[in-house]
Amino acid sequence: MSGWLDGQVAFITGAGDGIGRAVAERYLKEGVRGIVALDRDASGLSTLTKTYGCRIATVTGDVRSYACNEEAVKLALSLFGRLDTVVGNAGVFDFRRPLRSYTGESMAATMDELFAINLRGYLYAAMAGREALIASRGSIIFTASVASFNAGGGGILYTMGKHAVVGMVKQLALELAPDIRVNGVGPGGTLTGLSGTDALGQTERSINANPAAFHEKMAAGVPLGFAQQPEDHTGLYVLLASAANARAVTGEIFMSDGGTGSRSV
C-alpha cells in the first residue's frame, strides 16, 4: 500500500526524541525514501539508525551551526538524490520562567541561547535547504506551539520565540512562493524530553520528568481531556509535506493543541 510521501526525502532537526522522532517514524511509514536527522543527542540518533537502517542518515551537531544544517542537506542530496521537506523542530524550553526572575545578565544569556536554537536553528535549516527545495518544489514545516498564539504556554522568552515562528512562517511563505510551501504545526503541551537552557542550568531538566503529574495536569486543562503524545501531531506534518494533499496550503499554522486555543480565558 502506498503512502502519502512515497519516494520523498526529508531533513528533520531535533529528530533524536520527542516530536521530531515521531515525525521521522511517521514519514517512514508514509513511504519516505530517506531522512537526514540532525540532533545533538547522539544516543537518540543511534537508536534511529539501528531501527531503520539505511533509510536514516544522521548528523550529530547543533542547529545553531549553519555548517551542521548545510552538512545535513548535502548528505540528503548525496545519499538520496533530492530533498523534498525540511522540518525545523529542535528547541529548548524556559519552564515558564517569568520576567521578574531574571537579572540583566541571565536574561541576555538565556535569550541568546533560546532564540539561537528555537529561531535561528529554523532559519538555518530553511537557508541550507532552499535551493534543493526549489528544485523539488518542496515544503518547509516549522514546529510552532500553543504558545505561538496564547500566553501561559511558556515563560516570556519561550512565548516570544514561538510567536516569532508565526512571523517566520508567513514571511518565508511569501518570499519562497511559488516554489516552496512554508507552514507550521502548533502542538499543545506534549509529553517529550524537551529540556531547558544551559544559561539557566536546566539542560538536565525535561518536561517528562514526572509523567503522571504531567498527564493529570494536561487532562484536566485541555478541552479534549487528554495529555498529548508526540504521535498525536504527526498526521499534520504528513499532510503539509504532501504536495498532492496540501498543494494550495502555505503560510498557515495548523494547531494540534487539544482545543486549548479555543478557550477565551
What sign results for the dihedral spanned by CA atoms 207, 211, 217, 220? positive
Whether the Cβ atoms of residue 86 and residue 132 lie closer than 8 Å to each other: no
Rounded CA separation 44/191 (Å): 16
Rounded CA separation 16/25 (Å): 11
**Can you name the residues that pair with 37 across neighbouring β-strands?**
12, 58
Rounded CA separation 61/252 (Å): 29
Rounded CA separation 148/91 (Å): 14
Instruction: List, by residue number, the catalytic residues.
Output: 158
**Can you name the residues that pair with 206 across neighbouring β-strands?**
195
